[in-house]
Amino acid sequence: MSPRRGMLFSAFEPSGDELAAPVIRRLRDTHPDLHLWALGGPRMQQAGAEMIEMTAQHAAMLGDDLLPHLRRHVARLGQLKSFVARHDIVAHVPIDSPVLNWSICQMIRDRRPGARIAHLSAPQLWLWGSSRIGKLRRLTDHVLCLLPFEPAWFTRQGVRATFVGHPLAPHTLTSEHHNLDQNDAEPMIQVNETGHANVNMGASDESLTLGLLPGSREHEIRMNWPTMARTANMLRRRFADLCVTVAAADERAAQSIDALSQKRRCDSPPFRVRVGQTGQTLRDCDVALIAAGTATLQAAMLRTPMVAMYNLNWFRANLLIRPMTTSNTYALPNMIAEAAGRPWVVPEFVPHSGDPRPLVEALTLLLAGTHRRAAQREALRAITEPYEHVPFADAATQCVLQLAGYTTQ
């Protein structure tokens, strides 16, 4: 009996699970006879993938947990070799997590040389790690880019690349009926000065709302949340009716925020936590303070005025990060603006020392000035215009199918 023919997806973080799911769903709709196997998470499974292993429920391990995580991956590669030998893999779609996905790409190259490899979400070699472009040339046939300036950069490096939009684009969420926020019907949770949680459904119409997005990974929350809490506390002294809403990616993130807040009760204002509702939190707030990352791009697409920040200690920022990077900015909206020849659109404090005072001043200008918020919204509209014309699932699916030699519908 001939081996089953299909495509392999590999993701190792919740963000990769979210990216792959719309593509898998569209492939399942257009080519129902095509087998779709995956290392990934629950969204990929719900979209129709046959799961080999659940690998994307939580963010990749860091620090002390890295070694056992890598040991598990070595064992996983051994199992995958056996799987690939029994199945006809026509295409491999690695999503994010280059540290783990490089090895799978190499194994596919060695064991299934006829399979095409399409990276979904470009490795950020244009920011750091440009010396690895040779590895990418060997281990990919096409890069599906989420940022509009990336295809031109990869093309100059000899790598085929296509801009496929982003699943967070509001029109994509509407047209595909696939909101990436989880548990949208759940109420917000308010944590008061004593650290105890209670249900609270939101602010009054007259008050301003500040959104805080400290990141999705535990180490990001540890780095950024204490400064965000102190910043919000200082702003409450200037804006007495200010409501503070925190977006937690999942229950684990919410627990981390709660634990840190109880340790630093004097620094934490009353706030509400919305679990798995990042998009709705950004829609509802007047201004957001965001840890630099994908959430800044989501805020830009939703036209939410923001300040970007990310705490790093001096040693890491100046001796490790800056010498390795080729950009003057680390906030995605500013990167897009700079690549398009526009001025920065978002106040940016990356890397930041942890001092809340400059954040308070930048946020005060936005909270107190409706004209400043309106100006930033217009600038955000301009830089995210490319996303309005590219439906993510359609564009990404078409690229993968064409690369694998299938007709598109």
Whether 180 is in a domain gets the answer no
Q: Which of 40, 3, 6, 1 is nearest to 116 (CA)?
A: 6
pLDDT, mean of residues 266-281: 85
For the stretch 147-176, what's the b/e string if a residue is b when 16 or more beta carbons lie within 10 angstroms of its beta carbon? bbbbbebbeeeebebbbbbbbbbbebbeeb
Whether 293 is in a domain gets the answer yes
- Asked if 181 and 276 count as a contact pair (C-beta separation under 8 A), the reply is yes
- Asked if 281 and 253 count as a contact pair (C-beta separation under 8 A), the reply is no
Q: How far is CA 336 from CA 92, 156, 313, in A?
A: 28, 18, 26
How do beta strands 348-352 and 35-40 pair?
unpaired
- Higher pLDDT: 184 or 316? It is 316
Q: In what order do the strands lie in the sheet with 243-248?
A: 197-199, 189-191, 271-275, 243-248, 209-213, 287-291, 306-311, 348-352
Residue 202's pLDDT is what? 45
Whether 178 is in a domain gets the answer no
Whether 22 is in a domain gets the answer yes
Q: Using CA atoms, how far apart are residues 82 and 246, in angstroms rounded to an integer?
A: 45
Return the sign of the alpha-carbon dihedral for residues 281, 283, 286, 290: positive
The DSSP string of 232-268 is: HHHHHHH-TT-EEEEEESSHHHHHHHHHHHHHTGGG-
pLDDT, mean of residues 66-87: 89
- Asked if 76 and 53 count as a contact pair (C-beta separation under 8 A), the reply is yes
Q: Residues 47, 134: one domain? A: yes
Q: Which amino acid is present at 396?
A: A
- The per-residue pLDDT of the chain, averaged, comes to 87
Residue 59's pLDDT is what? 60
pLDDT, mean of residues 256-274: 82
In percent, how much of the chain has pLDDT > 70? 84
Residue 52's pLDDT is what? 97
Which element (helix H / strand E) includes 25? helix 14-30
Residue 323's pLDDT is what? 59
Q: Residues 233, 374: one domain? A: yes
Examine the pLDDT at 84 and tell me if it is beyond 90. yes
**What residues contact residue 44 under an 8 Å CB cut-off, 6+ apart?**
9, 11, 17, 20, 21, 24, 38, 51, 56
Q: How does residue 66 score in pLDDT terms, banded at 50, 70 and 90?
A: low
Query: Does a cis peptide bond (omega within 30 degrees of 0) precede residue 42?
Result: no
Q: Residues 115, 14: one domain? A: yes
CB-facing half-sphere around the CA of 272: CA atoms within 13 A: 23
- Asked if 278 and 185 count as a contact pair (C-beta separation under 8 A), the reply is no
The model's pLDDT over 357-398, given as tens digits with 9 standing for 90+, comes to 999 999 999 999 899 999 999 999 999 999 999 999 999 999
Length of the chain (residues): 409
In terms of residue numbers, what domain contains 226? 189-386
Q: Residues 50, 193: one domain? A: no
Whether 28 is in a domain gets the answer yes
Examine the pLDDT at 87 and tell me if it is beyond 60. yes
The model's pLDDT over 232-243, given as tens digits with 9 standing for 90+, comes to 999 999 999 999
Q: Residues 16, 37: one domain? A: yes
Q: Residues 230, 355: one domain? A: yes
Q: Residues 206, 141: one domain? A: no
Which element (helix H / strand E) includes 50? strand 50-54
Angle between helices 332-339 and 294-301 (to 10 degrees): 70
The DSSP string of 340-395 is: TTPPP-S-EEEEE-S-HHHHHHHHHHHHH-HHHHHHHHHHHHHHTGGGGG--HHHH
- Asked if 158 and 151 count as a contact pair (C-beta separation under 8 A), the reply is no
Whether 131 is in a domain gets the answer yes
Q: Residues 85, 231: one domain? A: no
Residue 132's pLDDT is what? 84
- Asked if 332 and 300 count as a contact pair (C-beta separation under 8 A), the reply is yes
Examine the pLDDT at 267 and tell me if it is beyond 70. no
Whether 177 is in a domain gets the answer no
- Asked if 308 and 228 count as a contact pair (C-beta separation under 8 A), the reply is no
Give the number of domains in the chain.
2
The model's pLDDT over 92-148, given as tens digits with 9 standing for 90+, comes to 999 988 889 999 999 999 999 999 999 999 888 887 767 789 999 999 999 999 999
Whether 175 is in a domain gets the answer no
Q: Using CA atoms, how far apart are residues 274 and 39, in angstroms rounded to an integer?
A: 28
Q: Using CA atoms, how far apart are residues 34 and 152, in angstroms rounded to an integer?
A: 32
Q: Within 10 A of 205 (CB to CB), how many other CB atoms are there?
A: 5
The model's pLDDT over 285-305, given as tens digits with 9 standing for 90+, comes to 999 999 999 999 999 999 999
- Asked if 252 and 187 count as a contact pair (C-beta separation under 8 A), the reply is no
Q: Residues 196, 129: one domain? A: no
Q: Residues 378, 238: one domain? A: yes
Question: In the block, which residue shows the tokens 């509009």?
Answer: 148
Residue 71's pLDDT is what? 86
Question: In the block, which residue shows the tokens 């792959």?
Answer: 20
Q: Residues 243, 146: one domain? A: no
Q: Residues 259, 120: one domain? A: no
CATH number at residue 100: 3.40.50.2000
